[in-house]
Homo-oligomer: A and B are copies of this chain.
Amino acid sequence: MPSSTVENYLKHILLLSEGAQDLVSMGDLAVALAVVPGTATTMIKALAREGYVAHQPRQGVSLTPTGRTVALSVLRKHRLVETFLVNVLKMDWASVHAEAEQLEHSISDEVLDRLDALLGYPATDPHGDPIPSRKGKLNFQVYASLATCALKQPLRIVRITEQTTEFLQFADQNHLLPGSTLIVTGRNLPAGLATIKTTGTRALALSITAAGKILVEPLRR
């Protein structure tokens, strides 16, 4: 069985390669795991020897099928646990990430299946992040963000791609939750600002960077 350290390495390689290039740099990985770069290099060489990753020296690292399976299982646990904490225990959605970061390593598949059933087999966690299926299928969908979508169009928030407590609290306070509807009233690229309006007639300014973390889909019908 992989240790929780190994599980964290594999999960973060998966997250960092999501959507982007499939070679993850040692630098990015080290930042994500809060270790120095030399530690990441050493660890990746060990993981390569054990068959979890492929290492292109000086280029980056990618998951093998085995490593990907482990990573998806950990991610599934993480997101189902977050959903449980919010939906059943009514915890603050901004604080559940840290809890899940621990619990993802000590929950058995048996417990996870029962949790899944209790929650009604959810497709996404409270932040809109897709939950990998038991078979390891990750429903990766490309959405526009508030930084890239069309202006003056009714939108629905589908996902917040940032786990920090501060950002999630900010989003919560301004009713920027998955399911909320809004329009982007304008953008000022030189100033790096986007202005939006939630259905409750609230106007709000956001940096383009922050806007890029809020994913939306056009509101049909």
Contact = CB atoms under 8 A, between A and B. Distances in A.
Contacts of A103: 103, 106-107
Given A85-B111, A89-B114, 8 more contacts: A88-B118, A89-B111, A90-B114, A91-B110, A91-B111, A99-B108, A102-B107, A105-B106
A15 interface: no
Interface residues of A, number: 18
Nearest to A102: B106
A115 interface: yes
Nearest to A106: B102
Interface in A80-128: 85, 88-91, 95, 99, 102-103, 105-108, 110-111, 114-115, 118
Nearest to A85: B111
A114 B102 contact: no
7 contacts: A89-B114, A89-B118, A90-B114, A91-B114, A95-B110, A103-B103, A105-B106
A91 B90 CA distance: 22
A58 B103 CA distance: 39
Contacts of A114: 89-91
Nearest to A101: B106
Contacts of A95: 110
